[in-house]
Amino acid sequence: MKKTRNTTAKTAVLEVFEKSRTALSHTEIQKQLNGICDRVTIYRILERLMNDDIIHKISNLDGTVKYAKCNHSHQRVHIHNHAHFSCENCHEITCLENVKPSYIMPHNYKVKEINFTLSGLCPNCLNSNI
């Protein structure tokens, strides 16, 4: 993992991820930064954080791209091929570290990345509908 310099904007983006329990879109991150930097700078920071394996990208069922902080401190091998949950009510996306996707591929394919998303109601929305 290569070192990158910390800027005020990068530090602010990292703080946004530290406070969030769910994945965030670029727009959600930009709103929380309150004008600290422009949208292009945020994209560059997100790209850098993905390259440094600090965050990972999630494509939601509706095509929205969100980003989540990596939780890999306990793993020797860092992979992002875990399941995600997309709530149909509040639209939050959470990483499901203990749910492992399963698939069987034909021999002439090589999988490099998995985007495994389950949808339904999250615990907060499920409890509020009772």
Binding residues: 87, 90, 97, 122, 125
Q: Which residues are annotated as a binding site for Zn(2+)?
A: 87, 90, 122, 125
Q: Which residues are annotated as a binding site for Fe cation?
A: 97
What letters, b where the CB count within 10 A reaches 16 and e where it falls short, cover 3-41? eeeeeebbebbbebbeebebbbbeeebbebbeebbeeeb
